[in-house]
Amino acid sequence: MCRLAILLALLGFLVSCGGDSTGTSSTASVMSVSLSGSPSAQIWQGQCAACHGAAGEGNRALGAPVLTQLSTDYLARQLNHFVNGVRGAHPDDAAGKRMALSVANLSESDISDLAALITTELPPAARPAATISGDAARGEDYYVNICSACHSGNGQGNDALGAPALAGLNDWYLKSSYQSYLEGIRGTHPDDFYGAQMARLAPALAKGDDIDDVIAFITALPPRRAP
């Protein structure tokens, strides 16, 4: 799998948790990070770092989002979803299919250890550069009334509600994920309980620039983990 992950990255595949392939740079991450020699570290370096960056900082050119702002619980749940076909099974989810392929060999213990490594051993990434413009003041009103009950007022998420942190994530990833819910690509599998909730709420921000405005507000929030 190590060779497979490296080959996919070199060929420009979008091995990611979602997202698009557009970007201003295709340069691979040159950040270095010191990890233990644990099996989870070997998995990270062999199967994840080629796309998500050595420190989990993400790479837009590969459609790979920053991961270090997400909680251990959320990361483990999504990895399990990819392995078990809950994510990446929709015929239009090309990026999800590639992600599912890249983690197909992981066991439950691999997943829990890998999720813990991402949130404890990798350094918190710097706030991603904004790529989407919007009216943050208008977006705040929408966010407070539609999003904050689950994702919290400061965008830090709530594991008890299955809601991930949003602050500190790439704005392009937030938008592409939201579009996936709107288009029925994500959140339709019967075992995706929390995804189904999001899919039901997604149409609330389907008009005009609503989602861009909300994302503009989210990107101004302090990240969950500060570098």
Helix (H) or strand (E) holding 107: none
Identify the CA nearest to 154 among candidates 84, 58, 225, 80. Answer: 225
SS3 content of the chain, % helix, strand, coil (to 5): 50, 0, 50
Identify the CA nearest to 102 among candidates 83, 117, 119. Answer: 83
**pTM, whole model, 2 decimals?**
0.84
- Domains defined for the chain, CATH in brackets: 2-120 (1.10.760.10), 136-219 (1.10.760.10)
> For residues 32-64, b (16+ Cβ closer than 10 Å) or e, as one string?
ebebeeeebbebbeebbbbbbbbbbbbbbbbbb
Q: How far apart are CA 24 and CA 48, in angstroms?
A: 21
Does residue 212 contact residue 138 with C-beta atoms inside 8 Å?
A: no
Q: Print pLDDT tens along the chain (227 aa).
A: 444 343 333 333 333 334 443 333 333 344 567 787 899 999 999 999 999 999 999 998 888 999 999 999 999 999 999 999 999 999 999 888 889 999 999 999 999 999 999 999 999 988 899 999 999 999 999 999 999 999 999 999 999 999 999 999 999 999 999 999 999 999 999 999 999 999 999 999 999 899 999 999 999 999 988 87
For residue 20, give both structure tokens: 């698009």
